[in-house]
Amino acid sequence: MGKKNLHLLLINPWIFDLAAHDLWAKPLGLLLLGGLVRTRGYQVRLIDCLDVHEARMEGITGIKPARRGMHGTGKFFRTQLPKPPPLICGLPGQDPAEDAHSGGVVRDHGARPYLAEFSPIPGTALWAEAVRSSPFDLETEPLYHNNSILPCRSQGIGPEELQWLKNLCRKNQT
């Protein structure tokens, strides 16, 4: 294989957290590497996802166009990343193992599970089932609607199991 057939694609990726990024910096390390391998006979191409003049970025669904001011200042391409839905524990009749399994599925896909506790609200679709399944008098005492006590929890989920689920989500422990 001759040197004419050697190709290298360099990609300067999107920024996901602007807090620690110098918006004026160019990918100098990447460009230096590209220049070095080019002198060795490689054909080098660069895709710069931060370049507001990158023609390949135009027309991608969900990406807002970048607006530029004088002297090239302005914003980068933007897209909103959706927050994943929470795992809800303490639903009437729910098996606690469901949350542990769902948390594992979320982690296996590289995301961090987010745990929320169910709170019964009068007039909602689950209200009647919540009243039937709760050991507390939900209809006459509004304080029992507080999600921190898991008023509709199933047998087998107590404070220790709830803490275990919270730790599972926070620290990705199994």
Single-letter code of the amino acid located at 51: D
Distance CA(43)–CA(148), nearest Å, equals: 60
Give the contacts of 1 (CB within 8 A, at least 6 positions apart): none
**68 phi/psi in degrees, rounded to 5:** -120, 150
**pLDDT score of 103:** 76
Distance CA(161)–CA(159), nearest Å, equals: 6
Count other C-beta atoms under 10 Å from residue 41's C-beta.
11
Single-letter code of the amino acid located at 54: E
**pLDDT score of 159:** 76
**pLDDT score of 39:** 92
Check residue 18 and report its DSSP letter: G
**pLDDT score of 134:** 87
Give the contacts of 153 (CB within 8 A, at least 6 positions apart): 89, 90, 94, 162
Rg of the chain over Cα atoms, rounded to whole angstroms, equals 26
Distance CA(100)–CA(165), nearest Å, equals: 7
**pLDDT score of 163:** 80
Q: Which residues of the chain have pLDDT under 70?
A: 1-4, 15-27, 51-84, 156, 171-174
**Contact yes or no for 44/38 (Cβ under 8 A):** yes
